[in-house]
Amino acid sequence: MKIITIFLLFIITVEAKNYNQNKKTIAFIKMMETQYNYKPSYLQKLFSDVTVQKTPLKIFSIKKSKPTVTEKKNYPIHGAWDRYVKYKVTEKRIDQGKYFLQKYNSVFKKVEKEYGVPAQYIAAIIGIESVYGGNVGKYPVFDTLATLAFEENRRSKFFTKELTKFIRLSYKQKFNPKKVKGSYAGAIGLGQFMPSSYEGYGVDFNNDGKVSLQHPHDAIASIANYLKENGWKKGEEIATRVSYEGKRFKKLKTGYNTKYHRKELSGIKPKQGRWEYFDKVRLIKLSKKSYDELWYAAKNFYVITRYNHSAYYAMAVHQLAQKLHKNR
């Protein structure tokens, strides 16, 4: 009885749809025919049976509401970093990262030499994005992008462009677009690249004639290429923790978009002594339960935020990378 109930729920929640009668789809097919010379019959076949992805649609359809008084009470801003890093930088993930670095050691050495990005930072990104390939996503990428392109949501224009890129990518790389799984936003592979990033930064590092971000060799090199093309400087510092007076830092604006000359930051200095970085720095604040951690962040830290526009994300990558480097 339980199995029947689950099966019925599955039928109810999964909706197959023929998008060929949708006005947006008709316009999309015409655009693909005009601009890229695609046969309408090929695209119509793809869009004739799309499983509407309700979870992604819900995520992008509903604007985030302001937290209620109860939510503010139960989840105060203090301790936000504690909660975030608890799930991103774990002993298990460190052990998995050490194994991943060891398994693909020769690839990492070649990539480091060619792109100038340290192996531990590439591995840290893969660890946080996909648990070293263990969780590349469960959503069908084509159906997800089609749902988000043609159903009403706040980012439909963005997903229409990504759908275009994905279809063209599947043709170029000779894979079935209906067979690829990814994230709820349509991100693909060990590094969770969106199709536009896949196209722009993907590298065929194993020289098999195609870029496959599900393949560790290509994924490792593609992440390094992404960071390098976004401004990574070989050998430069990333971040260091600094001291300040008090337990909560409110004196100056923090975040990766605001830069300071260090001489402007009186009373703030590195905890580990001399820090060999002399360009402008960002101040990154990590809100912990009892106090704020404050960090200097260099240009390379900012580059990591181009991968994911979150200071907490970039700091998690940095701290995981440091632990991998220490244990390597």
Looking up tokens 């970085």, which residue turns up? Answer: 277
Q: Is the pLDDT of residue 236 over 90?
A: yes
Query: Per-residue confidence at 238, pLDDT binned at 50, 70, 90?
Result: very high
Q: Domain boundary residue among 167, 187, 207?
A: 187
Number of domains in the chain: 2
Tokens at 164, concatenated: 């275009």
Q: What is the pLDDT of residue 16?
A: 83
Q: Domain boundary residue among 164, 187, 210?
A: 187
Question: Do residues 144 and 280 share a domain?
Answer: no
In a domain? residue 77 = no
In a domain? residue 316 = no
Which contacts of 26-30 are long-range, i.e. CB under 8 A and separated by 24 or more positions?
28/149, 28/150, 28/160, 28/163, 28/164
Question: Do residues 180 and 47 share a domain?
Answer: yes
Question: Do residues 162 and 272 share a domain?
Answer: no
Instruction: Report the pLDDT averaged over residues 247-251.
Output: 95
Q: Out of 123-127, 156-160, 268-272, which region has the weakest mean confidence (pLDDT)? A: 268-272
Q: Is the pLDDT of residue 168 over 80?
A: yes
In a domain? residue 305 = no
Query: Per-residue confidence at 273, pLDDT binned at 50, 70, 90?
Result: confident
Q: What is the pLDDT of residue 274?
A: 83
Query: Per-residue confidence at 327, pLDDT binned at 50, 70, 90?
Result: low
- Average model confidence (pLDDT) for the chain? 91
Q: Is the pLDDT of residue 7 over 70?
A: no
Instruction: Report the pLDDT averaged over residues 182-204.
Output: 97
Q: Is the pLDDT of residue 2 over 50?
A: no
Q: pLDDT tens-digit profile of 49-78?
A: 999 999 999 999 866 555 554 444 444 578
Q: Is the pLDDT of residue 257 over 80?
A: yes
Q: What is the pLDDT of residue 11?
A: 41
**What is the span of the domain harbouring residue 176?**
13-61+137-187
Question: Do residues 57 and 141 share a domain?
Answer: yes
Question: Do residues 168 and 293 share a domain?
Answer: no
Q: Is the pLDDT of residue 41 over 50?
A: yes
Question: Do residues 54 and 149 share a domain?
Answer: yes
Q: pLDDT tens-digit profile of 146-167?
A: 999 999 999 999 999 999 999 9
Q: Domain boundary residue among 125, 157, 187?
A: 187
Q: What is the pLDDT of residue 62?
A: 63
In a domain? residue 328 = no
In a domain? residue 115 = no
Q: What is the CA radius of gyration of the chain?
A: 22
Question: Do residues 154 and 44 share a domain?
Answer: yes
Q: What is the pLDDT of residue 14?
A: 57
Q: Is the pLDDT of residue 89 over 60?
A: yes
Question: Do residues 45 and 153 share a domain?
Answer: yes
Q: Is the pLDDT of residue 328 over 70?
A: no
In a domain? residue 267 = yes
Question: Do residues 44 and 144 share a domain?
Answer: yes
Of 187, 66, 58, 196, which Cα lies nearest the Cα of 130?
Answer: 187
Identify whether 276 is a catalytic site residue.
no
Question: Do residues 144 and 244 share a domain?
Answer: no
Q: What is the pLDDT of residue 70?
A: 45
Query: Per-residue confidence at 272, pLDDT binned at 50, 70, 90?
Result: confident
Q: Is the pLDDT of residue 111 over 50?
A: yes
CATH number, domain of 41, equals: 1.10.8.350
Q: Is the pLDDT of residue 103 over 80?
A: yes
Q: What is the pLDDT of residue 64?
A: 59
Tokens at 169, concatenated: 């990518």
In a domain? residue 225 = no
Question: Do residues 256 and 169 share a domain?
Answer: no
In a domain? residue 30 = yes
Q: What is the pLDDT of residue 12?
A: 39
Question: Do residues 285 and 154 share a domain?
Answer: no
Q: Looking at 33, 91, 114, 129, which residue is catalytic?
A: 129
- Using H for helix, E for strand and C for coil, what is the string for the chain? CHHHHHHHHHHHHCEEECHHHCHHHHHHHHHHHHHHCCCHHHHHHHHCCEEECHHHHHHHHCCCCCCCHHHHHHCCCCCHHHHHHHHHCCHHHHHHHHHHHHHCHHHHHHHHHHHCCCHHHHHHHHHHHHCCCCCCCCEEHHHHHHHHHHCCCCCHHHHHHHHHHHHHHHHHHCCCHHHCEECCCCCECCCCECHHHHHHHCCCCCCCCCCCCCCHHHHHHHHHHHHHHCCCCCCCCCEEEEECCCCCCCCCCCEEEEEECHHHCCCCEECCCCCCCCCCEEEEEEECCCCEEEEEECHHHHHHHHHCCCHHHHHHHHHHHHHHHHHC
